[in-house]
């Protein structure tokens, strides 16, 4: 019951965001459309920003959970691009609003979680400290987010598969070389 109520609230926000800027949507709008009281909303979410973050985590994290290895990271990144493309209005509305930090944080979290697993896999049992491994994953996370946000700004016209192929060409073997430099 709790999960279904959260989903109804989330779907309502997403529906509003198809036609209305996030900054113009209130909790009252959401609860009225859902036909629930405000207490029910606040039982599940602190505010609409937390709701937005929950939507991103619930929907996108589940798509990449099986793609956090060196052999599958490209597919994981592709899933992120496709999620943004499939949820274009939600993501662009968030991108253009005061809630942009939530999108940025979400993109960072999802990308870092994918990359830290890849970096740890490549590092295996090397003597490189966790701090350095995290720095490597952080570096590549910000590079990926920059490419993704630029793609969004340019209207999502370029084929995501092509972008992932280009990223792969650029960084293939680089993570391993970066780890070797820290040994």
Domain assignment present for residue 13? The answer is no
Q: Where does the chain have alpha helices with state H?
A: 2-17, 27-34, 38-44, 48-64, 73-86, 88-95, 100-123, 130-153, 160-171, 174-182
Domain assignment present for residue 29? The answer is no
Domain assignment present for residue 127? The answer is yes
Domain assignment present for residue 37? The answer is no
Instruction: Enter the pTM of the model.
Output: 0.85
Domain assignment present for residue 28? The answer is no
DSSP 70-91: TTTHHHHHHHHHHHHHHTHHHH
pLDDT, tens digit only, all 183 positions of the chain? 557 899 999 999 999 999 988 999 999 999 999 999 999 999 999 999 999 989 988 887 777 878 888 888 899 899 999 999 999 999 899 888 877 888 888 889 889 988 999 999 999 878 899 999 999 999 999 999 999 999 999 999 999 999 999 999 988 888 889 999 888
pLDDT of 127 reads: 87
Domain count, the chain: 1
Domain assignment present for residue 91? The answer is yes
pLDDT of 2 reads: 59
pLDDT of 6 reads: 94
CATH of the domain at 141: 1.10.357.10
Cα–Cα distance measured from residue 153 to residue 164, given in angstroms and rounded to the nearest whole number: 17
pLDDT of 66 reads: 81
Domain coverage including residue 83: 52-182
């Amino acid at each position: 019951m709790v999960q279904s109520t959260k989903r109804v609230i989330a779907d309502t926000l997403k529906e509003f965001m198809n036609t209305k800027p996030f900054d113009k949507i209130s909790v009252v709008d959401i609860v009225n459309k859902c036909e629930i009281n405000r207490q029910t909303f606040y039982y599940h979410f602190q505010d609409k920003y937390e709701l937005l973050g929950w939507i991103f985590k619930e929907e996108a994290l589940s798509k990449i959970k099986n793609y956090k290895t060196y052999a599958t990271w490209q597919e994981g990144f592709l899933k992120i691009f496709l999620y943004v493309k499939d949820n274009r209005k939600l993501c662009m509305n968030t991108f253009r609003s005061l809630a942009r930090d939530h999108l940025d944080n979400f993109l960072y979290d999802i990308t870092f979680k994918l990359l830290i697993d890849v970096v740890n896999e490549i590092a295996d049992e090397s003597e490189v400290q966790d701090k350095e491994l995290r720095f490597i994953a952080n570096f590549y996370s910000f590079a990926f987010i920059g490419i993704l946000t630029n793609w969004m700004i340019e209207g999502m016209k370029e084929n995501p598969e092509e972008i992932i192929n280009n990223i792969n060409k650029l960084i293939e073997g680089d993570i391993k070389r970066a780890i070797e430099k820290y040994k």
